[in-house]
Structure 1
Amino acid sequence: MASLQRSLGRTQTAQDQISSGKQLRRPSDSPTGTVTALQLRGEIRANQKYSTNADDALGRLGAMQDNLQDSTVLITKVRELTLAAVSSGGSSTPEANKARAAEVEQIKGTLVQYANAKYLDRPVFGGFTPDASAYDDSGAYVGEDSGQTMRAIGPNAKVRVDVRGPEAFGTDYLVDDNGQFVDEDGALIPAGSPPVANPEQLFKLLDKVVAAMRSGDETGLNASLINIDKASENMKSTLSEVGARYNRVTQMKQSAEDRLMSVSSQLSDIEDVDLPKAIMELQFQQTSYQAALAATAKVIQPSLIDFLR
């Protein structure tokens, strides 16, 4: 009878494995396997979070990348208009320069829109600002200029997913011929005071270009050309950095997804049942149980009471 109960228990175990699809249903089934499964599950959750963070980072960096690229094109257009305004000949008449000034004003409005680009309803160039925009309508920076937005995209791997407005569109500081920061009056600014080493603020620069075009100030336009080139170089440098971050996040996301597949496969090997093997085991246990029943019937012969019944 004890053998029959053990055989029946093994049959029930095989049947439970087939119905659940799991060979680990409780820690007592395999203490070592249970510990390994828990560790693998923790790693799966971590890699899933890395992948989610990478998706968020790609969204933010992609929004910045697109707007910076479009801004670079517009800055190039401003340079062409400024260069045409200082050129000698019939094309640099006061009327033509006024038309160019109007076009530069429209370009400035478009650039302000790019500078206020949003991702998930937050300005990507606004830093930690809780406001809905990084720049006001005049082009003045109203975002938060401290701190960095980071995302964990792998074990001990974090990447910055923001670019503050002054880094891309310039600061309110100027750079003299010696490469030192000065204010608008030419006074030297102490080292470490400017938030970033950028050229003149782009939107103020455009205002100067517009004023110089309308007044026919050729000297001012020539000076603005130099600052426009600096702004363009700074924008391209920022775009290059954002692109490098984007590539790194893409690589880390792929790495996290590959690791996730590998760990999931390992977890399946530990937890999941081998269905063909389990079906064969169930059939074997059923046959064994039937044979045990037949053997028991021969050992325990019917008594006289059984015949009387």
Structure 2
Amino acid sequence: MRITQGMLSNNMLRNLSKSYENLGTYMDQLSTGKKVNRPSDDPVVAMKGMNYRSQVTEIEQYQRNTGEVRNWMDNSDAAMDKATQALQRLRELALQASNDSYEEGQRENIAEEVDQLKQHLVNIANTSVNGKFLFNGTDTNNKPVTTDAAGIVNKVSTNDRAVTIQVANGTDLKSNINPSQVFGSNLFADIEKFSESLRSGQGNEALQQSIANIDTHINNVVNERADLGARMNRLDLIENRLGEQEVIAKRIMSSNEDADMEEVIMNLKTQESVQRAALAAGARIIQPTLMDFLR
């Protein structure tokens, strides 16, 4: 086959274009730190990268969900701790009032503190975090306990439906407690009955019954806290697992799509040398003409 001047020129231009393309690829890798910057660079790597990114995004969403569950549980546990303290103080007052040496005026003072503790428990039952009432099940927009102007509880509408949040693939975790076991209508009715018995001068039998009722409510709170604590321990395990999965997923994603910068720099330097050589060779393709010899 006869090699013409035009063929040499076309080949030179095609090779220079390919060389520029390779040089641009390495410069893109160097500036972005990625092996591929468009799917056409390597369809297999691009497809795997989409799958790995979806996995990382899913794990990050589960971590946000566990944060929401943690918020519910921590605030619920803190509230029940305060409720336990209030109930224990009510029991102490009941024991003090059962002492026959206490006079009517002193029991009236105890009744005043009992009323204040009841209001404190009402406030705890109506605990709201981020605009959501924690102790009303799925009905998070409404207070579970309401009182009248005199502080008498006139409505207790605790909702026991579970608030579940997905914290892992196929794993839903209950984030709330059963509020009726802790802040049910019996709790406030028993406290008001206790206060009334102090003011009306009822005997020790009524006070002993109040002590027994308070003990029952304390046990209810302790049992709910124990159940909540077990779920908090499980949440710890799930959070640790998600943290490990995030590290693994990001490492695999990085291995798939991140460029080896040392290798990229070496390839770029090599390609620059090739480019200079191609330009030097191309300059010699234009052969001397007859006019060059006639000068």
Deviation at 1:6, TM superposition (A): 2.6
Amino acid at match of 2:187: L
Identify the residue that residue 177 of structure 1 maps to in structure 2.
Answer: none
Task: Sort the Cα spacing of 1:75 and 1:307 in 2 relative to 1 into closer, same or farther, 3 A.
Answer: farther
Structure with greater helix percent: 2
- Does structure 1 residue 277 correspond to structure 2 residue 263? yes
Amino acid at match of 1:13: T
Whether contact under 8 Å (2:65, 2:166) holds in the other structure is yes
Task: Sort the Cα spacing of 1:299 and 1:107 in 2 relative to 1 into closer, same or farther, 3 A.
Answer: same
- Does structure 1 residue 87 correspond to structure 2 residue 73? no
Q: 1:105 aligns with which of 104, 108, 115?
A: 115
Whether contact under 8 Å (1:121, 1:132) holds in the other structure is no
Q: 1:162 aligns with which of 173, 176, 189?
A: 176
Identify the residue that residue 245 of structure 1 maps to in structure 2.
Answer: 231
Q: Secondary structure at the match of 1:25?
A: coil
Task: Sort the Cα spacing of 1:255 and 1:302 in 2 relative to 1 into closer, same or farther, 3 A.
Answer: farther
Deviation at 1:300, TM superposition (A): 4.6
Identify the residue that residue 60 of structure 1 maps to in structure 2.
Answer: 72
- Runs of 5+ unmatched residues, structure 2: 1-11
> Whole-Å Cα distance in 1 between the matches of residues 24 and 290 of structure 2?
35
- Does structure 1 residue 293 correspond to structure 2 residue 279? yes
- Does structure 1 residue 223 correspond to structure 2 residue 209? yes
Whether contact under 8 Å (2:136, 2:160) holds in the other structure is no
Cα RMSD after superposing both structures: 2.2
Q: Secondary structure at the match of 2:145?
A: coil
Amino acid at match of 1:258: E
- Does structure 1 residue 266 correspond to structure 2 residue 233? no
Matches within 5 A, 1:115-134: 115-129=125-139, 131-134=141-144
Identify the residue that residue 256 of structure 1 maps to in structure 2.
Answer: 242
Question: Mean Cα displacement is larger for which, 140-149 or 106-115?
Answer: 140-149
Question: Mean Cα displacement is larger for which, 74-83 or 150-159?
Answer: 150-159
Identify the residue that residue 195 of structure 1 maps to in structure 2.
Answer: none
Whether contact under 8 Å (2:160, 2:179) holds in the other structure is no
- Percent identity, aligned pairs only? 27
Deviation at 1:27, TM superposition (A): 2.2
Deviation at 1:255, TM superposition (A): 2.4
> Whole-Å Cα distance in 2 between the matches of residues 140 and 255 of structure 1?
46
Question: Mean Cα displacement is larger for which, 229-238 or 143-152?
Answer: 143-152
Task: Sort the Cα spacing of 1:306 and 1:100 in 2 relative to 1 into closer, same or farther, 3 A.
Answer: farther
> Whole-Å Cα distance in 1 between the matches of residues 51 and 35 of structure 2?
17
Whether contact under 8 Å (1:150, 1:158) holds in the other structure is yes
CA offsets per residue over residues 213-259 of structure 1, 9 Å max, x none?
22232222111211111100111111222223233223322322332
Which structure: larger Rg?
A: 2
What is the aligned residue count? 278
